[in-house]
């Protein structure tokens, strides 16, 4: 175990390249992890496409990591070699800024993000700050739970911010929405799914996971929504969703990047409708979701690719050719 394989982004807007590297040793407070599966998230696409500023370069993307502890750094407690762990997007926070001190570490002034400002999981090994890793137990297979680490966690945070309303609209039926539809069903709430016009396959997929209605993103649903969550990076969906929520309703934007939002009449925001974004996650979000997902029986639909097919996985995600989530298996 001296060399590892990684798919590396050397410059934005270029393909990832396979590289052999020395296996990293865990520093203080770190775990060295043998990756068993790593999900491919839309945020990875934004990093590769140069839509997020100042990535560490070269960077190994990937922040939905499931793996086993291979070595333990100094000062780490609570983990054992061989234990299955998950590594999410939030790689580390400063612990001292006003946001960290107020329990809003997702907004930390000096954060570290897995697969963006520190190397992630498109590799056979990775190191991560143990304080931001989560024990995953042995339930569920590695590939099937990898999407929990971002699609699940950010989806869960988005749903919390959307409130407790009975009818929730999900715009874009990809990895996050297909998890949330299952959570909503388990919670006894109603899901309306919005997809690209004419994407009958995605609409059928949404109905198969409990969505009561599925239609095009510019359709008005049969009943107005209590809240809408937008998972696709299309700013035009913000006014579309505002038109679909009832008085006092919320529109939550779950992605890290979005095209410009077109101007819209004040009347569709009027009556105390709200628009807000979701940034990153807190460890509390992760603990909540990782406890809830097995209870809710969340099962991910995944398409697995070998590690060296990472570019194909990214292309399939970009083109919307996937049902559910893409996962790399090193």
What's the min distance (Å) between Cβ of 229 and Zn ion? 15
Residue number, 111 or 239, with CB nearest to Zn ion:
111
Residue number, 100 or 328, with CB nearest to Zn ion:
100
Instruction: Answer yes or no whether residue 106 interacts with Zn ion by CB under 5 A.
Output: no
Interatomic CA distance for residues 265 and 243, integer angstroms? 10
Tell the burial category of 261 from Cβ atoms under 10 Å away from its Cβ (0-12, 13-18, 19+): middle
| Residue among 4, 33, 43, 133 that touches Zn ion (CB under 5 A) | 43
Interatomic CA distance for residues 325 and 151, integer angstroms? 9
- Name the one residue in this structure whose structure tokens are 């793996």: 67
> Binding string to Zn ion for residues 261 to 300, with x set by CB under 5 A, is what?
----------------------------------------
Per DSSP, the residues of 258-274 read -PPPPP--GGGTTTT-E
Interface stretch with Zn ion, choices 4-12, 13-21, 36-44, 113-121 (CB under 5 A): 36-44
What's the min distance (Å) between Cβ of 267 and Zn ion? 34
Q: How far is CA 28 from the centre of its chain?
A: 27
What's the min distance (Å) between Cβ of 93 and Zn ion? 5
Peptide bond into 324 cis (omega under 30): no
What's the min distance (Å) between Cβ of 245 and Zn ion? 25
**Residue 136 DSSP label:** -
Residue 228's nearest CA partner among 163, 316, 137 is 163
Interatomic CA distance for residues 198 and 193, integer angstroms? 13
Residues of this chain, 142-171, that bind Zn ion according to CB under 5 A: 150
Instruction: Answer yes or no whether residue 182 interacts with Zn ion by CB under 5 A.
Output: no
Alpha helices in the chain (DSSP H): 42-48, 98-101, 142-145, 151-162, 175-186, 200-208, 237-244, 283-296, 310-318
Residue number, 121 or 239, with CB nearest to Zn ion:
121
How many residues in the shown chain lie near Zn ion by CB under 5 A? 8
Residues of this chain, 82-101, that bind Zn ion according to CB under 5 A: 93-94, 97, 100
Instruction: Answer yes or no whether residue 36 interacts with Zn ion by CB under 5 A.
Output: no
Interatomic CA distance for residues 300 and 178, integer angstroms? 7
Instruction: Answer yes or no whether residue 123 interacts with Zn ion by CB under 5 A.
Output: no
List, in sequence order, every residue forming a beta bridge with 134; answer none if it has no partner: 86
Instruction: Answer yes or no whether residue 108 interacts with Zn ion by CB under 5 A.
Output: yes
What's the min distance (Å) between Cβ of 110 and Zn ion? 6
Residue number, 94 or 268, with CB nearest to Zn ion:
94
Instruction: Answer yes or no whether residue 317 interacts with Zn ion by CB under 5 A.
Output: no
Interatomic CA distance for residues 129 and 131, integer angstroms? 5
Instruction: Answer yes or no whether residue 41 interacts with Zn ion by CB under 5 A.
Output: yes
Reduced to 3 states, what is the DSSP secondary structure of residue 304? strand
Q: Which residues bind Zn ion (CB under 5 A)?
A: 41, 43, 93-94, 97, 100, 108, 150
């Amino acid at each position: 175990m001296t060399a590892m394989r990684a798919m590396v982004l050397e410059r934005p807007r270029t393909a990832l390249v396979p590289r052999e590297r020395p296996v990293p040793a865990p520093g203080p407070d770190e775990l060295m992890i043998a990756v068993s599966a790593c999900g491919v998230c839309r945020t990875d696409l934004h990093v590769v496409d140069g839509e997020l500023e100042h990535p560490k370069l070269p960077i190994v993307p990937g922040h939905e990591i499931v793996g086993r502890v291979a070595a333990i750094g100094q000062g780490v407690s609570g983990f054992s070699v061989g234990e299955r762990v998950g590594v999410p997007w939030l790689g580390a926070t400063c612990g001292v800024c006003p946001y960290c001190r107020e329990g809003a570490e997702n907004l930390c002034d000096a954060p570290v993000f897995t697969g963006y400002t520190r190397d992630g999981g498109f590799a056979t090994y990775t190191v991560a700050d143990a304080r931001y890793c989560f024990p995953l137990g042995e339930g569920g297979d590695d590939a099937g739970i990898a999407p929990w680490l971002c699609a699940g966690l950010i989806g869960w945070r988005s749903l919390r911010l959307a409130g407790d309303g009975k009818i929730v609209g999900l715009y874009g039926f990809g990895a996050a929405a297909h998890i949330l539809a299952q959570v909503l069903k388990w919670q006894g709430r109603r899901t309306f799914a919005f997809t690209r016009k004419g994407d009958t396959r995605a609409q059928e997929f949404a109905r198969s996971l409990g969505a009561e209605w599925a239609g095009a993103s510019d359709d008005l649903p049969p009943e107005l929504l209590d809240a809408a969550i937008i998972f696709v990076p299309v700013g035009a969906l913000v006014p579309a969703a505002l038109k679909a929520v009832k008085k006092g309703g919320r529109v939550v934007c779950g992605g890290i990047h979005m095209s410009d939002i077109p101007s819209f009449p004040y009347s569709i925001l009027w009556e105390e409708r709200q628009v807000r974004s979701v940034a990153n996650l807190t460890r509390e979000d992760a603990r909540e979701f990782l406890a809830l997902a097995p209870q809710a029986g969340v099962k991910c639909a995944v398409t697995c690719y070998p590690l060296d097919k990472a570019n194909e996985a990214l292309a399939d995600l970009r083109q919307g050719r996937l049902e559910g989530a893409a996962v790399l298996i090193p």
